[in-house]
Chains A and B, each alone.
Chain A
Amino acid sequence: MKILVVDDQKANQIMLTGLLESFGHEVVCASNGREALNVFQQVQPQLILLDVMMPEMDGFETAPRLKAMSGNIHLPIIFLTALDSQETLLECLKVGGDDFLSIPFEPVILQAKVNAHARVRELSYSLVQKNRTLAWHSARMEREQNVVQHMLENALAENQLQQPFVKSYLRPTSNFNGDVCLGRVGPFGNYYLFLGDFTGHGLAPATGALPVAQAFFSMAERGLSVGDMVTEFNSRLYKVLPDDMFCAALVVEMSANGDRISCWSGGVPDALLLDTRGQLEQRIKPQHMALGILPRAQFNSQLEHYFVTPGQRLVMFSDGVVEACNHQGEMIGEERFADWVTEMLDSECSEAQFRAIVERIDNFTGDTPLNDDLSLLCLKCQATGLEPQAKPQNEYNLPFELRVVLTEHDIRNRDPMQRMVDSLAKLDALQPHKTSLYLLFAESFNNLLEHSVLDMQSELKQQESFERYYEERQSRIEQLQGLEIYFDIDYHPTSQQLSFTLSSNTEHRFDGQHAGHSTNDSEDTFGRGINLIKQVADEVEWRDGGSLLYVSYSLSRPLA
């Protein structure tokens, strides 16, 4: 240990240096306080032996300055004093001295005191080191939390919770919310809501929220059913989350005209479906276990469906709401909360009414700290007013002509039309029209195949023989030999036209004009094919005396 001896008497310096060096310490000397301050800066001693009476600067003045220079690390100062008055000793302690040693002394006392204070110094030093490490980790933690928060915010940027018919309130207990509220518009003008409550708070649930949010947004965009959604969420979370973590959730879909609600509920408190007067009509109880617990094979995605009328409301919340406590430890509870909701929300379901409920929760809990995240959603049943979303059609593809020749091998046990449309739909400009194109292709092809190739009578399609008709069709296909069907497709991007002709190497004529005898209004189960073609296509024409069918379709026609 490096020790600084401060004494104006050379004899004392020599005596102390000798003793301390014999105990194995390294010694530096100074003759007064001012010199001691200089030496301290140069050699950074770990313990000070300080005389009281010195010229220039005495011990009482020097001690606090040395302490200050040592900063956070404890610097033991032992006063050397010949004086034995109580006042002097008290003063030594007052100015920051840790101990004193009266001269003359027994060497063994010096050794014991130096060793004792060396231990304190060592402790203090390691404490400072640990604090430094802690501070480093804490800063790093904060940086990493910021990164995750940023990722989460990006992932939730697609959130479409702000809708005139949705009210939401979220109060997290920490930076990261264990509760997640998501909303998203579907492609039919329908709307999806997700209320999730992950076990725990902080980083871990936030990490679980990422894959769920991504799956929710993309599946909602595709207009998938809530059943398919929760099945996907569950398998993602089952894979990702540790055994003791899961996500209680309520997933809801409201139809575009607001008359139908489908929900899946697992592990959250009952959602409250209110009638138009604001009375409780139905408690939607959780039917399932929370997400992330059961393997796919055991997971149950069964939904509940409700027909609703405009003005009804669905109020959903995490257990943080009903388990919020006042200062006496009393919880709000499901009953009390349901009373508040029915009392305070009328059919208007205004922002003010919603805020009033939030305020009531706040008033109840007072300044009692929250022990769970708290989220509250209110969905007002009404037509969403959201337009079905058609994809933008500004894609341009190159023009092409394509001849497809089908033989009997291509049509046995296969649907060549689906394959053709699947391939064509890979072009961006044709993709939004694939349903219409399929209809045109399939109806034209079936008409040609069934009437001029297979010579089927469409009357066979009467109710009793609908299936027999297709059995007969299949057996005639099996017997075909040497058939060739020619599909000539012509695509003009500039005129936004896709046309095709269809013919075959058989002798029969198209049954065109006769096949479409069934009108749109009829309830006949057959004979609609040609009528459908006529109405979906721009132009339909039998050419070459009925042996070739020409169909033209406009890609500029609005879909919705």
Chain B
Amino acid sequence: MSVTREFSADQKQLIISIKGKFDFSLVQEFRQAYSHIGDSEPLVIIDLRETEYLDSSALGMLLNMRKSLGSTVKGIHLINARPEVKRILDISRFEKMFTIA
């Protein structure tokens, strides 16, 4: 599985990890990963530590997620991006729309 979803033990965080290639081939898997999040207003954390490849469709999918979740979540964090991935997020000015840690 290249997309995994896991709630933290206290249900306050939903962690979605993307391994390998992040592009439109994951569009359904990725959408599934952030659906049915319940009423607990969790913080969504996208863990990119094992994301090696991504393209503009991945960026589009992240923005789609942000639009679709709206205020049902406490926030969306993109964490553990490798330097190259981080650069792509920076170029796309994603720090204005997500917390990049």
Contacts and interface: CB of A to CB of B under 8 A. Distances in A.
A189 to B, nearest CB: 10
Given A435-B52, A536-B91, A304 B60 contact: no
B83 A559 contact: yes
B36 interface: no
B13 to A, nearest CB: 5
Given A438-B53, A532-B88, A388 B83 contact: yes
B21 A415 contact: yes
Contact of A520 (B49, B85, B91): B91
A225 B47 contact: yes
A446 B83 contact: no
Contact of B54 (A435, A467, A523, A535): A435
Interface residues of B, number: 47
A163 interface: no
B56 A224 contact: no
Contact of B80 (A223, A421, A435, A560): A223
A446 to B, nearest CB: 7
B80 A302 contact: no
21 contacts: A187-B82, A223-B82, A227-B6, A435-B84, A435-B85, A436-B84, A436-B88, A438-B21, A438-B55, A446-B56, A446-B57, A463-B64, A463-B68, A466-B27, A520-B91, A520-B93, A523-B66, A523-B97, A526-B56, A532-B56, A536-B91
Contacts of B23: 415, 442
A388 B82 CA distance: 8
A257 B81 CA distance: 13
A470 B30 CA distance: 15
B76 interface: no
Interface of A: 187-188, 190, 223-225, 227, 255, 257, 259-260, 287, 302-305, 388, 390, 415, 418, 421, 432-436, 438-439, 442-443, 446, 461, 463, 466-467, 470, 520-521, 523-526, 528-529, 531-532, 535-536, 559-560
A434 B101 contact: no
Q: Among the interface residues B23, B54, B85, which one has the most CB atoms of the partner chain A within 10 A? A: B23
Contact of A439 (B25, B54, B67): B54
B8 interface: yes
A523 B63 contact: yes
Contact of B60 (A223, A388, A434, A466): A466
A446 B55 contact: yes
B101 A260 contact: yes
A225 B17 contact: yes
Q: Among the interface residues B15, B27, B54, B82, which one has the most CB atoms of the partner chain A within 10 A? A: B82
Contacts of B56: 443, 446, 526, 528-529, 532
A439 B60 contact: no
A260 B45 CA distance: 11
Given A188-B81, A303-B9, A305-B8, 13 more contacts: A223-B82, A227-B6, A388-B83, A415-B21, A434-B84, A435-B52, A436-B84, A438-B52, A520-B91, A520-B93, A525-B60, A532-B92, A559-B84
B89 to A, nearest CB: 11
Interface string B86-99: 11100111001100
Contacts of B45: 305
A225 B50 CA distance: 9
Nearest to A255: B101
A224 B10 CA distance: 22
Contacts of B37: none
B53 A304 contact: no
B11 to A, nearest CB: 11
A529 B25 CA distance: 16
A304 B10 contact: yes
B34 interface: no
Contact of B64 (A443, A520, A525): A525
- Give 4 nearest A-B pairs by CB, closest first: A435-B84, A525-B60, A560-B83, A438-B53
A259 B45 CA distance: 14
Contacts of B52: 434-435, 438
Given A259-B101, A302-B9, A390-B83, A224 B49 contact: yes
Given A388-B83, A442-B55, A528-B60, A521 B93 contact: yes
A219 to B, nearest CB: 11
